[in-house]
Chains A and B, each alone.
Chain A
Amino acid sequence: MKRIFSVLLVVVMIVSVAFTGCGKATTEEPANTAASSDTSAPVAEASSATEPVAAPAVTDDSSVKVLNLWSFTDEVPKMVDKYKAAHPDFPYEVKTTIIATTDGAYQPALDQALAAGGASAPDIYTAESAFVLKYTQGDAYKYAAAYKDLGIDVDNALKAAEIAPYVSDIGTNPDGNLIGLAYQATGGAYIYRRSIAKAVWGTDDPAVIKDKVGPGWDKFFAAAAELKAKGFGIVSGDGDIWHSIENSSPKGWIVDGKLYIDPLREQFLDLSKKLKDGGYYNDTQDWTDAWYADMKDAGKQKILGFFGPAWLINYVMAGNSGGDKPGVGTYGDWAICEPTVGFSWGGTWVLANKDSKIKKTVGDIINWITLDTSDTGLQYMWANGTFSIPEGKTVGTKDTVASGTVMKKSDGKLDFLGGQNMFDVFVPAGATATGKNKTQYDESINSLWRDQVREYTAGKKSRDQAIADFKQQVADNLGVAIN
């Protein structure tokens, strides 16, 4: 424990010396840019670099041999590997740093790496929707390069790819430049069990089920009561409804620099209590063993469904369904329909370091991941399950992507969903997604809020006490004004 504390001290020191490193990198850049170019004549470049031009040619520094990549999962690193494999002349060694977001470990580490600068600073880094605003509009946005400075024709490419507006809204910095884009679209659906729906309502047709579980929480709880009567739960834990409440509320946690509890978010206390009192759920917490267990009927009571975007199906539920082909475990016994309230959840934004010396390559990779709509572009492969095909299968996992152009020519039929084309539900769901209710504190504030709600529903404290304690904790830990 002493060691960790001294590490903290060191970290504080690194921050203090950080600006020296950054300053150096920027001053060296013009000379390096001029010295190496693989597109046009070096002489012409040297002169153009000194005068302000509208679109400066983007080049790589040939002395750099390493591309540093930071991410919180292996998803983007795998994409870069794929890119490297498709480009045999790719000259860089890719150095990948993956730090999971659990316990908030990724952000402090990334912050230090960005602040410290130098040769090992990330060239490309990623940010999850829970904290992307910090890197695109909050304290850390100044580290990111505008896409246009990477040689990407932003305006035309955005239009051609029909990128969902919330994706580019979130990725636009306060100066009006686009600095980050996501490759996924993360509009959510209600993902439910066909067999349970049949047992309770006699049908598993999404058109019928969507009217049972919504729209609105009143219908949702009416359905929950019907399910309970037959011995089923409607969701696994309160986290399942939280994600749809959080992302459907019009305002975020901070309004005008003060803590703001949106009425919809405050209502989560009551909805959560209702779930608990009615026994409509198994009282699990998302991302714990008990939550996964409910995906394969290993919980106390069987659960009708989960709220989530396409990635939840592919990366979480399929692997935890207890099977890998229809008929085994719960695999194939699922379907999706419109959620109770429209929401989006998650997504990974890709950013580039403004001090990167290999901007051309970085730009090419980012363009391929976020804006390329061709059949060899990342998004097409990602949507159609051809990005990585597991052994013995003909198709890999499919996902909804940010580009509307790609979605139109893609096919979202999944065995896991009993052959249902998931894009029919997920593509319209993307329209309800918004970037306006996020703040850079979301990860911290959300977990404080959910802890208080959990204590309230468990009967450990009153509703008012829970809200008061929540406010106090936000004020104490984040220094955010509460009144």
Chain B
Amino acid sequence: MRRRSVSYAKYGYIFSIPFVLAFIIFSFYPIIYTAVIGFTDLKGLTKTDFKFLDNPFQNFELILHNPSFITSLSNTAMIWIINFIPQILLALLLAAWFTNHRHHIKGQGAFKVLFYMPNIITAATIAILFSSLFGYPMGPMNDLFKTFGLSQESVNFLLQKWTARGVISFIQFWTWYGYTMLIFISGVLGINPELYEAAEMDGATSSQTFFRITLPSLRTIMLYMLVTSLIGGLQMFDIPKLFIPNQGPSNATLTTTVFIYNQAFSGSYMYNRAAAASMILFLIITTLSGVLFFIMRDKQAAKLRKQEKNRVKEFNKANRISARRAEV
């Protein structure tokens, strides 16, 4: 008798249809469209038809020779690095404290909520809050400076390049370290507790456990954090855009996405150039992510795999030799 088997696979396909449809319409199509118009002459508000340029890479060349674009790339990198390094360090430290087996910290939940809180506030609100904190000639920061005698005159903080960049980095740091910490904590909790017990038995100190067990075991989580933060950091838009309405003193806070926005929406509607710039940014992000994956790859496992391969090869060789001998 033939047994009827039920295939559940089709339900999987059915349930994924809404997502796939939404993705195709709202993500995939725009991405392809953006990629295409980068090679065209689509410019101007009321225009919807376009033709490909005689030199298809003209927009890319124009963007790569645009001094503001180059500035925006270095700004983005600087702002990201200044915010990311302290953010990872602090998040790791907090994660290590919160997951420590020896001294159980009280009120952990409350702390986690408090640290995560800045991430809940919308970026626009934070940007406007900070821009009034640093208001000139009157504002809380200026009042503080005068009270502590740091300066007699009002300081126009946002005309100083590094202050402007620094504040944006700080905002990014402050809103995201809680999130990073939570991810690390969940990563640490996923580590086999027997490792910690064994380490404790062998008399390892806290710092030894952290550096020898926690950190190496967090590698995949760390990779995830690095890559998502890299993508988010290079696409930094809302805080820089809203904190200083233009691009700060001498383009100091012009990030790449703000630059792209300006190309498309600040008056000239150069959709083609904005698209070309977006594609360049996309390539940069892809390359850097690839580099991160390469650096963070599991070297031990790769070595093992290689050894295994070699062993198999040796084994085969030996077999072949013995087979030949047998023939002889």
Seen from chain A, the residues whose Cβ lies within 8 Å of a Cβ on chain B are 1-2, 4-6, 8-10, 12-13, 15-16, 18-19, 102-104, 107-108, 111, 115, 134, 139-140, 142-143, 282-285, 288-290, 293, 299-300, 440-441, 443-445, 447-448, 451, 454-455, 458, 460-461, 469, 472-473, 476-480
Contacts and interface: CB of A to CB of B under 8 A. Distances in A.
* Minimum-distance CB pairs A-B, first 8: A476-B68, A139-B45, A9-B30, A441-B267, A477-B262, A444-B267, A478-B268, A444-B266
A293 B138 contact: yes
Contact of A283 (B33, B45, B66, B136): B136
Contacts of B217: none
Contacts of A140: 45-46
A448 B246 contact: yes
Given A444-B266, A461-B250, A283 B27 contact: no
A5 B26 CA distance: 12
Interface in B255-305: 257, 259-271, 273, 275
Contact of A8 (B250, B261, B268): B261
Contacts, number: 137
Nearest to A18: B48
A387 B10 CA distance: 65
B266 A5 contact: no
A300 B146 CA distance: 13
Contacts of B241: 103
29 contacts: A1-B235, A1-B237, A1-B238, A2-B232, A4-B238, A9-B27, A13-B30, A13-B33, A103-B245, A104-B265, A107-B265, A115-B45, A139-B269, A143-B46, A283-B136, A285-B136, A290-B137, A293-B138, A299-B138, A441-B267, A448-B246, A451-B246, A455-B250, A458-B156, A458-B159, A460-B250, A477-B268, A479-B270, A479-B273
Contacts of B138: 289-290, 293, 299
B139 interface: yes
B271 A15 contact: yes
B275 A12 contact: yes
A284 B48 CA distance: 43
A310 B239 CA distance: 35
B69 interface: yes
B156 A469 contact: no
B236 interface: yes
Contacts of B249: 451, 455, 460
Interface string B40-66: 000111101000000000000000001
B31 A9 contact: yes
Nearest to B32: A13
B67 A111 contact: no
A412 to B, nearest CB: 33
Given A9-B30, A139-B44, A479 B268 contact: yes
B209 interface: no
A473 B29 contact: no
Given A139-B45, A143-B46, A473-B251, 14 more contacts: A1-B236, A4-B257, A8-B261, A13-B30, A142-B46, A284-B137, A290-B139, A441-B268, A451-B246, A451-B249, A461-B250, A477-B68, A477-B266, A480-B268
A472 to B, nearest CB: 6
B73 interface: no
A10 B132 CA distance: 31
A290 B142 CA distance: 12
A401 B69 CA distance: 45
Contacts of A454: 159
B206 interface: no
B99 interface: no
B123 interface: yes
B74 interface: no
Nearest to B266: A444
Contacts of A441: 267-268
A103 B242 contact: yes
Contacts of B226: none
Nearest to B45: A139
A197 B271 CA distance: 53
Contacts of A477: 68, 259, 262-263, 266, 268
B231 interface: yes
Contacts of A448: 246
A3 to B, nearest CB: 9
B135 interface: yes
B268 A19 contact: no
Given A2-B232, A12-B275, A13-B33, A282 B137 contact: yes
B267 A289 contact: no
Given A461-B250, A477-B262, A115 B245 contact: no
